[in-house]
Structures are given as structure tokens and as C-alpha cells.
Structure 1
Amino acid sequence: MARTVRFHEIGGPEVMRLEDLETGEPGPGEVRIRVEAIGVNRAEALFRSGEYIEPVKRLPARLGAEAAGVVEAVGPGVSGFAKGQPVSSVPAFSQNDYGVYAERAIVPAAALLRRPDGVDAVSGAAVWMPYLTAYGALVEVGGMRAGDVVALNAASSGVGLAAIHTANRVGATPIAVTRTRAKRERLLEEGAAEVIVSDEEDVPVRLLALTGGRGAEYAFDAVAGPGVTDLARAVAPGGTLLLYGALSGRPTPYPGFDLGMPALNVRTYTVLETTRDPGRLRRAEAFVVSGLRAGVFRAVVDRLFPLEDVVGAHRHMESGARFGKIVVTVTG
């Protein structure tokens, strides 16, 4: 038996329950891991509340895609993983099919990465999704390169911080956008070239001023909603607006027509584009491991919660107070 988080109804953090369930044996192409730490992501809160891009198909339902642990058993047809090996799971599957909020979890072998030497369980549960998202969107899809400017909102999130580090790694200039001054100094310490406080400043006006009127080659938008039009005003001609989240919870207009049909590329992105494509995942893994070894990438962990307080972890995430990644630790 393994303690496993499930929810029996759609709703807020309080619907999650910790239950004793049989884990079972891995099937073809699957691996069972003993979970040591779990990365908490916005996708899980949206799935639990019925607001994710994929609906909950059946109840009770499980949660979670990002975890670090140790291989306990491998299913038929699995190669490259062995019992006792430290690994991390990455978001590459539907939460309708698998979930890692548990002491033990079965996941597809295709969703596992070997944990690099020197990366502990907490870091192994916190580092992959942010960097796979940032690299996949900005470098793999967007083609960001040295000399480019990228403006990014929700900058203090795990993905936002990874985007700052990724931009610096390739020689681009990251400009962070945050709502209040509370996180400004920490964002500068993390490598933001400039920080725009959206509650106090006109974001497109400041972005244009910082870029000499040219605009940013990339805008990396986790908020979307009506503000997307203002953000698009500060994208350079031929530049790209990448939408990877919808934190505003409001309808998102297409900005091109309202702005007079500029040379603007608008594209949505999810990490699944990287994790479900073996070639992209291989390149992304190499990029992240290289950054970890060089000491320029790292997991920025905001706070740890025990599995018994997974409800508290989700409440903290939804409070908007975090800086970096929330991780749930598992013992037993």
C-alpha cells in the first residue's frame, strides 16, 4: 500500500485526500518509482479545479507529473533503467492516466530522465519542468539567440526564473515583469537585466524605452487575457509573442488586428511539445544538464511541504506569494 493523493470531486485544494492504495506492478513500457519529492505545478491546480486544457475524465482522479525518486521495478520492454537508479519524471502524460502525488507511482518510461550526479531529490523534482518549458519555447521553438531581448511576466515563478537563466545562457537579455516591488531585488539577483513593476509602470512604454524603441524580440507570456494587446505593442517587428499560460483567467483577444496588423508572430506553447517529442526532449535534457554542470542553472525552491500537507502546498501556490518552485517531500 502507498499513500496516494486523489480527489473525488472538482474543487479547491481542500478536495484532495491522502488515501492508502495498491500501486501494482508496471506494465509494458512502464516503470515504478519510489517517490522522494514532488514538484507542484499550476497545471495540477487547474486540473483539480476543472480549468485545465484537458478535462478530468473520471473520478476519483490522481494528480501530478513531476517527481524525483528511485526506480523500484521496470515493466516489459523497458531498457535504460535499473532498480535503484535515481530518476525524475517530467510532464509527458495525461493526469487522467498517471499521477505522481504518492509514495510510489507508476509512470511511462518515456517520461523519465536520469537524475544527474549532484542533483538531490528536491532539486530533481523542481528543475525539469521550468527549464524544459523555457528552453522548449524560447530556444527550440522560438529560436532565441545572443543579442535578442525577451520580456517575461510572472517572472518569479519557476518557469519565469528558468527563462531568465536560459536567456542569459544563450546571450539574450531578459527583462522581467512583476506586479509589485516586493520581488524586484531578487529578480535582479537571479539575472534579470531590468525589472518592470507593472502596478507602477506602463509596461509597453518601459519596454520600448529599454530597447531604444525597437521592442523585444520575444515576449514570454504566462498571464494572457486582455493585457496581451498591450504586451504585443512592445514586440519588435517580426518578433514573437509566446503564450504559455493563462493566469488572468480571462478571454485572450488576438492582438494583431487591434494593433494595425504589425509583423507579429503569436504562438501558444506547452511543455508537452518538448516532452512528448523524443528528439526535442533529448536536446532539452542536454541543454539543462549542461547548465547544471556549469553552475548557471539550478532549482530555485520557494518552500517545502510534507505530503501530509499537500493541501497547504496548493494553497500557497494559489496565494501568489511564492518565488520559485514549491516542492512536496515524501517520507516512508
Structure 2
Amino acid sequence: MARVVRFYSHGGPEVLRIEDLEVPRPGAGEVRISVKALGLNRAEASMRKGTYIEMPALPSGLGLEAAGIVEALGDGIEGFAPGDAVSIIPPRQMARWPAYGELATFPAELVVKHPPWLGFEAAAATWMQYLTAHGALIDVARLGRDQPVVITAASSSVGLAAIQIANLIGAVPIAVTRTSAKKAALLDAGAVHIVATQEEDIEARLREIAPQGVPVVLDPIGGPIFTPLTAAMARGGILIEYGGLSPEPTPFPLSDVLAKTLTLRGYLVHEVTGDPERLEAAKTFILDGLASGALKPIIARTFPFEDIVEAHRFLESGEQFGKIVVTV
């Protein structure tokens, strides 16, 4: 038996329950892990609320990121042994491969032996944020040296990962946040410029920073911010949308899209995780960045497994700076 988190109805954090369940032995090609830490993502809150792209049958487990120790192996597994320290590439189907539990099972191709110097909490805070940012900025946008890049929701885990990756390749990260309360922390995290949306004219501030226009925008919000963002973009620029957090409608900025031949591009991390070649390149980039210290997961707060409800409340508060981790 193992403790796992499930929910029986959609709703707020209070619908999450910790239950004792029998976890089956891993099947062929699967690895079962004794989980030591979980990384929380907004996708999990969305699935809990019933607004995620995946709509599972209830009751359902959830969770996309874990780190721990290999506990059991299914048939046909090579390269892993019980006792190995590992972390998880986020699966495409959260309900099929839920991470929230003392024991969790994943396909072997999603299991990564992480370096011994990378602790379980940092390992659980690595893959979703860096894979998302790398795929968007490096694979899709082809961001280059000295190019400015606007990063909205900059204090989120993906936002901070994007800032670090931009700095690693010599680009110029422009962090967009709601107020100046996190300005000092964002500058310490590597942002070159800060734009506070509730205190400044976004378009005017971005034009001041990048008079020739911004070639790349990374945004998980959508909504009314699309208008000033696209107005400040460079000809031929690309806006990559990977979220949709705004409850307000997202306008289509037709005049700027036409006048500047802009690309507005939806993006999912599954584009990377589902492509072995792209995934291997991203893993190499990320592990090299971690080893050099250029990439370093920023953990906002750590909760014990028993406080998963409170951890989800904090996840939705918008107060965090970096990744929320749950220890098991």
C-alpha cells in the first residue's frame, strides 16, 4: 500500500484527498519509483478544476513531475537498477501516469538518471520548466545572441527558467510582472529589464527598451496583454503562447499581425517530449547548464506531502517566486 493523491470531483484545492492504495507492479517497459519530491505545475491545478486539455475519468490521480529512487523494474528494462536516483520527464497523459504518491510508475523513456549532485527537490523542479522554456525559445523561436525576448509571468518557474536560458545563450531577457514587488528578485535572477504591467504602459516601456521592436515573446497568459505585446514587436517577430491563464478574452491583433507579418504560435512541451531527437538535445542542453551553474532551479517554497491542499492553494495564489516542491 502507498499513499496517493486523488480527486473525486472538480473544484478547488480542497477536493484533493490522500488515500492508501495498492500500487501495481510495473509492467513491461515501466519503472516504479519511490518518490522523494514532487514539482507542482499549474497544469495540475487546471486538471483538478476541470479546465485542462486532458479530461480524465474520476476519481483521478494527478501530477507531472517527480524525483526519487528506482524501486522496481518491469520486464525489458535496461540501464536502470533499484536504488538509482532518478527524475521524470513530464508525461503526455497525467491521469495515466500520475506522480502524486509515495510510489509512482512511469514509462522507462521518461525516466532520467539525474546527476548525484542534483538533490531530489531540485530534480523535481527541473524538467517541466526547462524543457518548456528550451523548446519555446531555442527550438521554436530560434532565439539568438543579443536578441531581446519578452518573458511574461516572469516569476513563475518557466519564466525564471526562460530568463536563465536567455542569459545562457547571450540573449536579453525582459521580465514582465504585475507589480514592482518582485523587481529586485527578478534582477537577481538574471532579468536585464523589468516591466510592471499594473504600474507602466507596457507598449511604451517595451518600445523604450527595444526601439527596433521585440523579436520574441514568451507568454502563458493571453487576454488583453496581447494588444500591447504585439504592438511592441518587431517585424517578423514571433509570440509563443503556452498557457492561457487570463480569464478574459484574448483579442486577435489583426493590424499588427498583418503590418509586421507576425507569427502567433501555440506551443506545448509535448512537442519536445514526444520527439526523441528534440528531447535528447534538450536534455543535453539542460544537464550541461545545470552542471555549469548557468541553470539553477529556484524553489519558492517546500511543503510536506500531507499539506498537498495548502501547496495547491499557494500554487494558485500567484505569490510564489519559482517552483513549488512537495516532499514525500
TM-score range, shorter chain: over 0.9
| TM-score, length of structure 2 as denominator length | 0.97
Paired residue for 1:296? 294
SS state at 1:305 partner: strand
SS state at 1:102 partner: coil
User: How do residues 104-123 of structure 1 correspond to structure 2 at under 5 angstroms?
Assistant: 104-123=103-122
Paired residue for 2:43? 43
User: How do residues 15-30 of structure 1 correspond to structure 2 at under 5 angstroms?
Assistant: 15-30=15-30
Q: C-alpha distance in 2, partners of 1:261/1:215?
A: 13
Deviations 1:77-117 (A, max 9, x none): 22222111111012123122110100000111121111123
Paired residue for 1:99? 98
Deviations 1:125-177 (A, max 9, x none): 00111111100110012111112110011000000000000000001000001
CA contact (8 A) 1:2 1:22 kept: yes
Paired residue for 2:87? 88
SS state at 2:17 partner: strand
Q: C-alpha distance in 2, partners of 1:151/1:93?
A: 27
Deviations 1:162-200 (A, max 9, x none): 000000000100000110111000000111001011111
Report the aligned-residue RMSD.
1.1
Amino acid at match of 1:262: K
Paired residue for 1:76? 75
Paired residue for 2:243? 245
Amino acid at match of 2:322: G
SS state at 1:93 partner: coil
Amino acid at match of 1:159: V
Q: C-alpha distance in 2, partners of 1:54/1:4?
A: 20
Q: C-alpha distance in 2, partners of 1:217/1:33?
A: 42
Paired residue for 1:9? 9
Change (3 A) 1:249 1:53: farther
Instruction: Using the TM superposition, name which of 36-45 and 91-100 deviates more.
Output: 91-100
User: How do residues 300-311 of structure 1 correspond to structure 2 at under 5 angstroms?
Assistant: 300-311=298-309
Instruction: Using the TM superposition, name which of 71-80 and 300-309 deviates more.
Output: 71-80
May I ask how many residue pairs the two structures share in their alignment? 328
CA contact (8 A) 2:230 2:256 kept: no
Q: C-alpha distance in 2, partners of 1:179/1:165?
A: 20
Q: C-alpha distance in 2, partners of 1:8/1:103?
A: 19
> Which residue of 200, 210, 216 maps to 2:214?
216
Paired residue for 2:205? 206
Paired residue for 1:180? 179
Deviations 1:233-267 (A, max 9, x none): 11111111000111112332332346554210111
CA contact (8 A) 1:256 1:262 kept: no
Amino acid at match of 1:146: R
How far did 1:34 drift?
Answer: 0.3
Instruction: Using the TM superposition, name which of 160-169 and 197-206 deviates more.
Output: 197-206
Q: C-alpha distance in 1, partners of 2:49/2:179?
A: 27
User: How do residues 99-178 of structure 1 correspond to structure 2 at under 5 angstroms?
Assistant: 99-178=98-177
CA contact (8 A) 2:90 2:127 kept: no
| TM-score, length of structure 1 as denominator length | 0.96
CA contact (8 A) 1:5 1:18 kept: yes
Q: C-alpha distance in 2, partners of 1:238/1:112?
A: 38
CA contact (8 A) 1:70 1:86 kept: yes
Amino acid at match of 2:239: L
SS state at 1:280 partner: helix
Q: C-alpha distance in 2, partners of 1:194/1:102?
A: 40
SS state at 1:122 partner: helix
Q: C-alpha distance in 2, partners of 1:74/1:142?
A: 38
Once the two structures are aligned, what percentage of the paired residues are identical? 49
Deviations 1:39-81 (A, max 9, x none): 000000000100112222x111001010000111111222222
Q: C-alpha distance in 1, partners of 2:255/2:205?
A: 23
Change (3 A) 1:250 1:79: farther
CA contact (8 A) 1:92 1:276 kept: no
Amino acid at match of 2:166: A
Structure 2 gap segments, 5+ residues each: none
Structure 1 gap segments, 5+ residues each: none
How far did 1:229 drift?
Answer: 2.1
Instruction: Using the TM superposition, name which of 70-79 and 179-188 deviates more.
Output: 70-79
